[in-house]
Chains A and B, each alone.
Chain A
């Protein structure tokens, strides 16, 4: 029988201390601490390089990836990644490898937070493999099962300006209709001409698990069918386990479209909406009512409801993780449907906090397994 409540991370982790712009004694000391704790092979060499200043940036990224892998391995997770140590973030990083994407400047996300929003000014085309090097490195340096996070086409389209695709529909007189066509064409192009080839490359290189990140999936309720279409264009016929990750969204909008998605797992954020109290009743587990809707639709895929909140330094106790998992399993009436997971990537948390959270995730999963099987 397969292990109940297997543990996975979601993708990102704060960048390793030695990737900071300026490396001082403090960063070197922190690197040494983590190298020792995580048992990173030959980490002493890195310390020597940092102390003598004899290193090249590319090598530091390799080291960061290694530290990321060992971070999750050491915490004891079943399915891991390198914490996306080589990526700027999830949007601009892939866009930099797409022909046709240009950056005019930053736009507001909230207050004084901005992102570098791309305009797609010609037919998009993949210039170079995006995540392949990351995967090959990770495969070489970890025996653990790997899951490669890939930003999905719908989110890339939604977060970009569809300039080219708007311009090619100049014959359409209604701005509203023209805009709809532009958004659709861009999303389809990114699915077929960019992300599908990316996923194919990963699969050919041996990736067995791929996570498609689509935080924008539910932003436009009238485009849910388009989202499903683009997702399926990316994954259809590829031999891998596909996880769809969506966070901080209105998940009710996924229904009933979600049944058409060719996914094996869905990872959603729930802990952020939940109470910090122990217990397996509806009130204490108020972050998880969406699971009842999942149950109603009887999905064929497994669900990873986040049991670790990545937006707070509060360390969930193993007991809290256990209760969240057992509650989820009872709602779904099947523990094999549930995966133990974070709400989202851990990039917002310090390593010290993130590590404690991951230790709790693993221990909480063990407690849940023991209680369910007792």
Chain B
């Protein structure tokens, strides 16, 4: 069987009620306990939605994360959240990390941002920013050399991983790496990507996924195959299968088939057709199927429907 997994790629949209509560919390008219209670409840529902739909690996939803970097920029010494900056080609913005001093890890950060109770006793995937992507999307006013910043970020991520692994078992770690497929990186930059991931692998010995999105995966070929990842994620709304077919890809792939930036809900047949085309033309050893990127580009109701379709398509691919 070549189809061996189905899961989502990251942040899940918040409900309108939760957004309203978060605004109240921001204004000081709702307490932290009330907010955490609502986030826990909604995270559990998101996990349940995935479980019911038949996801083989669960994501926690990251409802506490305003963007990919915020837990770190709000908490790690040496960086702070900077100006609002466009998140790739989307009508969505993130606060650019500004590096103002040597990065120093003083205390666990992610325990405040991840609802471990929601994913306890599940096979779950922790989603983190890939160090090179993190560095490239930052305003570095301290290190000066991107390789130094990448290693400093990888160290921080590794420490967080260690803490989380002490508390819970993690089935898989996904490193979200859109910056490595925006264009073809030169050899030096690719080496910096590799060093960052190598640093994380020193700490984490579980299954590692590198997910590329908003760009053409073939930009990172062939060097991405040698990063030591167990699963390579491809955004098939940004990458043509024909382009991939020209390469010898001998790694398990995560096929981001359901478009997380379009409310059009794909049919099971459309998802199956694309997954089978990938298998036929690229012939990877294994395929996981999922969404192209984070789901928080969609209204929550649409995201829920896509999860159901994804589960149904996975069952169809496996003949279940």
Contact = CB atoms under 8 A, between A and B. Distances in A.
Does B associate with A? yes
B48 interface: no
B298 interface: yes
Given A114-B19, A176-B236, A163 B299 contact: no
Contact of B302 (A105, A176, A177, A219): A105
B264 A163 contact: yes
Given A159-B91, A219-B86, A107 B299 contact: yes
Given A161-B263, A173-B273, A179-B259, A106 B299 contact: yes
Given A163-B264, A175-B236, A108 B13 contact: yes
Contacts of A107: 13, 296-299
A3 B236 CA distance: 55
A179 to B, nearest CB: 5
A179 B258 CA distance: 12
Contacts of B95: 110-111
B16 A106 contact: yes
A109 B66 contact: no
Nearest to B297: A107
Interface string A170-184: 100111110100100
A174 B298 CA distance: 22
Question: Which bucket holds chain A's interface residue count?
Answer: 20 to 34
A254 to B, nearest CB: 16
B89 interface: yes
Given A163-B264, A179-B237, A110 B93 contact: yes
B274 interface: yes
Interface in A135-167: 158-159, 161-163, 166-167
A285 interface: no
A108 B296 contact: yes
A166 B264 contact: yes
Interface string B234-268: 00111111100000000000000101001110000
Interface string B211-226: 0000000000000000
A174 B263 contact: no
A46 to B, nearest CB: 31
A167 B270 CA distance: 11
B277 A173 contact: yes
A170 B270 CA distance: 9
Given A110-B94, A175-B274, A161 B262 contact: yes
| Interface SS, A side | mixed
A95 interface: no
Interface in A176-228: 176-177, 179, 182, 216, 219-220
Interface in B13-31: 13-14, 16, 19, 22-23, 26
Contact of B23 (A112, A167, A182): A112
A317 B228 CA distance: 59
Contact of A174 (B241, B299, B300): B241
Contact of A104 (B237, B274, B299): B299
B67 interface: yes
Nearest to A118: B263
Nearest to B273: A173
Given A109-B93, A111-B66, A114-B19, A176 B240 contact: yes
Contacts of A324: none
B173 to A, nearest CB: 24
B100 interface: no
A158 B23 CA distance: 27
A119 interface: yes
Contacts of A163: 262-264
Nearest to A119: B263
30 contacts: A104-B301, A106-B19, A106-B299, A107-B296, A107-B298, A108-B296, A108-B297, A109-B91, A110-B67, A110-B84, A110-B92, A110-B93, A110-B95, A111-B66, A112-B23, A158-B91, A159-B91, A161-B262, A161-B263, A162-B262, A163-B264, A166-B264, A167-B264, A170-B270, A173-B274, A175-B259, A176-B236, A176-B237, A219-B91, A220-B89
The 6 closest A-B pairs by CB, nearest first: A105-B299, A161-B263, A110-B93, A163-B264, A104-B299, A119-B263
